[in-house]
Amino acid sequence: MLKKYLLPIIICFIFLSLILTIDYWKVLIIDTLTSTPFIIVLCICALLAALLAFIFSKIAYKVDNDPDLEHYEQDRASFKKFSEMNILLIISFYFALGSILLVSLNDAPISLGIVSIMTLIIAIVMRYYGYTMINKLYPERDLPQNFESDFDDKLIDSLNKEEMITIFTGLYNAFKLTNIVLPAAMLIVTIYSYATGIPQHFALSTIAGCAIAINVMYQITVRKLI
């Protein structure tokens, strides 16, 4: 029971701390977000994450072909590395996207804008590379190719019961976290509005719209399947 409420309690504690200390961190946050070095750090982090993802993909492929492991051990170990690769690719993509958006907002130098664009291109290419890894790790499975229009449907059809339960559990946990993170993001944006004196009405409306769309899509999908 305590574990269920631990994350909301931690989030409430963080928000309370932010409100009580708002005068101490607001200038630092504003200066950081509007600085050129921060964009450079984002680009470097995005490239490092992409590089680490590439390394993890090679490790996953190596483990999947390790003759010293049983077949189920190969699948288990390679999929863990595959998941770690995907986490790094997600970080790389959003850091790269964030860098290019901050370039446009902060009137950063053109040279930094070019670097951000190149970083984003690398992150996108690496993300598509990550998608192709599933076919390399499971060549014996009749898995769809990444660019097929009905890729998602064919992938689901190729899964066994245990795999579907695993994916469902991951998706549902992500869904539950979304319903915590998005309201939390709205509170953070509100606190930021108080700190800077700049109302963030559009940002709040956008986050609320995303939260509504996600939950409505979930309910509609469940209703169709029942």
89: CB partners within 8 A, 6+ apart: 49, 50, 53, 123, 126, 127, 130
Entry pTM:
0.82
Nearest Cα residue to 102 out of 47, 45, 37, 49: 37
Q: What is the pLDDT of residue 33?
A: 81
Q: What is the pLDDT of residues 183-205, one digit of tens each?
A: 888 988 888 888 777 888 899 99
The answer to whether the CB of 88 falls within 8 A of the CB of 49 is: yes
Q: What is the pLDDT of residue 117?
A: 94
* pLDDT lower than 50: segments of the chain: none
Q: What is the pLDDT of residues 125-166, one digit of tens each?
A: 998 888 888 777 777 777 777 666 677 777 777 777 787 888
Burial of residue 225 (CB within 10 Å: 0-12, 13-18, 19+) is: exposed
Q: How far apart (Å, rounded) are the C-alpha atoms in residues 186 and 208?
A: 8
Q: What is the pLDDT of residue 191?
A: 83
**DSSP category for residue 146:** T
